[in-house]
A and B are shown apart, each in its own frame.
Chain A
Amino acid sequence: MKFRGLSIYAALVLAFLHLPLLTLIAFSFNASRFTIWEGFSLRWYRAALSDPQLGDGLVNSIIIALVASVLATIFGTAAAYGMWRRAAPVLSGTLYLSLVTPEIVTGVSLLALFQWAFRFLRLRPGLYTVIVAHVAFSLAYVAIVVTARLRNYDRSLEEAAMDLGATEWRAFLRVTLPAIAPAVAAAFLLAVVVSFDDYVITSLVAGVDSETLPMVIYSMARRGVSPVVNAVSAFILVAFGGLILVSERLQKQ
């Protein structure tokens, strides 16, 4: 059955999805600061690299993403494994809830928690509050990726290991973990991207000195023109795109 024009329609929609980003990347190389093409230039990339605010934001984002993702990957993988052994409905429900809760609500609720806790603990928001928040919302992503891998995993492999003398822990360590390692790595990369990109929650719980890259980009975009944002955006698109592609390749193993 042929539907005439379907492929044209599809091509248009795909163009709609990709053209905005492609033009952004193209104009990041624009020599002019206006939206008129005046030749190829790397000036905005150079400007981005020498901007101290961007630099600090990048460093903070990297630290937060790495620490939070390592923690989220360890806890999330463990959770996925535990739920695979036997269902844990409350935990699954909570993780699912975290995915469907609007970011603004997660953000303000964490803000409320920290404000309330800091009255007793005499602490202030900082990088660590952001890390705590990022681990909280990344757990679900990690759990999803690892759970998907475990669904295709043969339970009898662990039983065989135990049958041959391995305790539960050693069976996990020596047999299951090597088998799911690519998926765990993929989950880590996903957590990094999710963490790196977060604006809404981060802006609400970050301390004064803990501006992240998205927060810097946001304030630059709010202020208006600067094509430096184009350069940073283009770089982020390519970097994240690459990480996600690697992550997907790992999940297929």
Chain B
Amino acid sequence: MNLRASFLLPSRAWTAVFLAAPLCIVAAYSFLTRGDYGGVDHPWTLESYRRLFDPVYLAILWRSVWIASLATVLCAILGFPLALFIARAGRTKNLYLQLVLLPFWTSFLVRTYAWLFILRDTGLINTILLRLHIVNTPLPLLYNDAAVLVGLVYNFLPFFVLPLYATLERLDPALLEAAADLGAKPFSTLWRVIIPISAPGIAAGSVLVFVPCLGAYLTPDLLGGGKTVMLGNLIQNQFTSARDWPFGAAASIALMAISALLLAGIMRSRAARELM
């Protein structure tokens, strides 16, 4: 075996056994039946996939798509101006990038917990509101869809900002000057020049936010209480308390399929591909 092959071997073996094989097992399980003591059993069946189309579970899927879409839109609204600002920042660009990235690279768990701390009944916001006598009883800010949304946007905003920044940074300032020269006011330039040109960045950023949000588990778990059940929570539940592994497997495959479709879609555009 030559040097290159021996260098590749450990990773190839490890990923084959601990990444690829497990996914194959899950795929297989999705076609099996629930076993008596949990686990799986024969016969092979499509029952799990059929159950996915039950209104209860379709609702969960729909809710996941809805929350993920909202999160993406919010990230776009918050992230676009930020990315534009940083791209025009001159020499302090890197400092701002660091400021955006640094919280992201610390602990995901802590970042999610921070919102628990802020939003709960005895949390920061409610304490302030109560103290200032703006309200008499604490507002139920936590354990609902909105809280999950805040948590998702907070955690995944950098995923949108980065590819968008990469595109905006390469934008030739002369284009903006040309637009102004031809009579475009700032907003018009933004709408007719900047946004269309940065479309690949927007597309890449959107997919990079949407896909993890769709499969989110920890955020809806901590911030949504039992009320916001997204696909991730459903899957976790099936593999632990509900002990319906084939169904959990089918849901996992469905989630992977949707994610794969979106990612494949974005990779077809070369401009977006380079940003990822």
Contact = CB atoms under 8 A, between A and B. Distances in A.
A1 B99 contact: no
Contacts of A27: 117, 124
B82 A13 contact: yes
A17 B211 contact: no
B26 A14 contact: no
A136 B14 contact: yes
Contacts of A23: 114, 117-118, 124
A24 B190 CA distance: 37
Interface in B230-274: 232, 235-236, 239-240, 245, 248-249, 252, 255-256, 259, 263
Interface string A11-45: 00110111011011001000000111000000000
A128 interface: no
Interface string B1-39: 011110110111011101111110110010000000001
A197 B108 contact: yes
A121 interface: no
A132 B177 contact: no
Contact of B3 (A20, A34, A76, A169): A169
| Interface size grouping (class) on chain B | 35 or more
A136 B17 CA distance: 9
A221 interface: yes
B107 interface: yes
A187 to B, nearest CB: 13
B102 A241 contact: yes
B186 A3 contact: yes
B136 interface: no
A111 B263 CA distance: 26
Interface string B83-125: 0111010000000101110110111111101111110001110
A196 to B, nearest CB: 8
A105 B78 contact: no
Interface stretch (B50-58, B195-203, B212-220): B212-220
Contact of B19 (A6, A94, A102, A169): A94
Contacts of A172: 3
Contacts of B84: 3, 6
Contacts, number: 240
A234 to B, nearest CB: 8
A1 B103 contact: no
B205 to A, nearest CB: 14
Contacts of A82: 4-5, 7-8, 11
A95 B14 CA distance: 11
A102 B217 contact: yes
B49 interface: no
B105 A240 contact: yes
Given A113-B21, A230-B117, A237-B110, A6 B81 contact: yes
Nearest to B104: A17
A151 to B, nearest CB: 13
Contact of A204 (B110, B123, B239): B239
A91 B113 contact: no
Nearest to B189: A1
A221 B223 CA distance: 11
The 10 closest A-B pairs by CB, nearest first: A102-B215, A109-B22, A10-B85, A79-B11, A82-B8, A82-B7, A136-B18, A78-B7, A20-B114, A113-B22
Interface of A: 1-4, 6-7, 9-10, 13-14, 16-18, 20-21, 23-24, 27, 34-36, 74-76, 78-79, 81-83, 85-86, 88, 90-91, 94-95, 97-98, 100-113, 115-116, 132-133, 135-137, 139, 143, 168-169, 172, 193, 196-197, 199-200, 204, 214, 217-218, 221-222, 225, 229-230, 233, 236-237, 240-241, 244-245, 248
12 contacts: A1-B176, A10-B85, A16-B78, A20-B154, A34-B122, A79-B12, A82-B7, A95-B15, A136-B19, A139-B14, A143-B11, A230-B117
